[in-house]
Structure 1
């Protein structure tokens, strides 16, 4: 079972790894759902994690708020992605939507091209896609080489335990073509329940190792 611990900067990384985190999602500003860290934080964190044989997934997000980004913001994301790739991140985490609530295909394809050679997680922007389009979105992300989808299975203000049915639908539909990574409210206390209910091999959370 792979436990992906979400961190804000470097502060808790040593503790989380010591407590059993198998992979780190590296963010700043968790109060707004996570944004891109500074270069200095990235350098130190990636080196520390790699010395411990732990992979790092780096958030590519220029601000909090919605996932409909301007041309300038996409340029920021491109530069951040290239820089983090040069620093040795194992993967990147991003998601772009358009003003209709569908995937911003042009922006995503540009970023995916720059991310070649890295693992890519499409983050909880997925939960902002309309329920009737989410299965089509899974197909699009599979087709374009995304490694996994991070999802709460419902609105962020719901308990993940109440979304297990929907998460199971995603997992069954994905059918091994892409990893469905449950997250948002998973802790060391409910982790076993989530694993048992969904039969997943990866889970994600800020408190997943305590």
Structure 2
């Protein structure tokens, strides 16, 4: 099973790689769900993971709070994506939604366009999309070449056990057209069970391995 560890800053990266982690999601401010790290942290992390052949995913998020962004914030995110590309980061993760509970396709298209040459991941902004609109969002993300969706299957205030039914619906609708990466509330103790129930081969979390 493929394990992705969400880390804050650079500090845990060497230990995570030594412990055998498969992929790293790089964040600042995990207490608010993750934001973009500084240029210096991103540069050091990109170099270290590249030297150790571990894929890196850089969080592109200008602030905590919701995922409804204005033009200035989208411009900031595009700048951070270009910075990641220049540093050789292989993947970026971001998400934008409208106030009406739908994927913000205009913002997402601009961000995806800026990410040429990198894998794109839609992060847990996906869970802010109204359930009735999520199938439409999955189809759009598939059509625009997004590699995977990180999702808890509901709000993070709910334990993963309470969102499993909806997660299964998401996996079924995706139908292997796009990777589904379950996260939020996953630990080293329950990750394999969750993956087996959902029929996926990868999991995400900040405590997905013991380091």
Aligned-partner Cα distance in 1 for 2:195–2:145: 25
SS at match of 1:6: strand
Assess if the C-alpha contact under 8 Å between 1:3 and 1:20 holds in 2: no
Residue 10 (structure 1) aligns with: 10
Residue 41 (structure 2) aligns with: 41
Q: Deviations 1:133-165 (Å, cap 9, x if unpaired)?
A: 111111111111111000001111111122111
Q: With the length of structure 2 as denominator, give the TM-score of the two structures.
A: 0.97
Q: How does 1:48-197 map to 2 (within 5 A)?
A: 48-197=48-197
Aligned-partner Cα distance in 1 for 2:196–2:93: 26
Assess if the C-alpha contact under 8 Å between 1:92 and 1:119 holds in 2: yes
Shift of 1:198: 1.1
Assess if the C-alpha contact under 8 Å between 1:35 and 1:63 holds in 2: yes
Q: How many pairs are equivalent?
A: 210
Q: Deviations 1:19-64 (Å, cap 9, x if unpaired)?
A: 1211000000001100000010011111111111101000000000
SS at match of 2:31: helix
Aligned-partner Cα distance in 1 for 2:72–2:33: 21
Assess if the C-alpha contact under 8 Å between 2:58 and 2:91 holds in 1: yes
Report the more deviating stretch, 192-201 or 62-71: 192-201
- RMSD between superposed Cα atoms in Å: 0.8
Residue 30 (structure 1) aligns with: 30
Assess if the C-alpha contact under 8 Å between 1:153 and 1:164 holds in 2: yes
Shift of 1:14: 1.0
Unmatched tracts of structure 2, length 5 or more: none
Runs ≥4 in structure 1, deviation > 6 angstroms?
none
Assess if the C-alpha contact under 8 Å between 2:101 and 2:133 holds in 1: no
Aligned-partner Cα distance in 2 for 1:39–1:180: 29
Unmatched tracts of structure 1, length 5 or more: none
Assess if the C-alpha contact under 8 Å between 1:35 and 1:60 holds in 2: yes
Assess if the C-alpha contact under 8 Å between 2:121 and 2:149 holds in 1: yes
Q: With the length of structure 1 as denominator, give the TM-score of the two structures.
A: 0.98
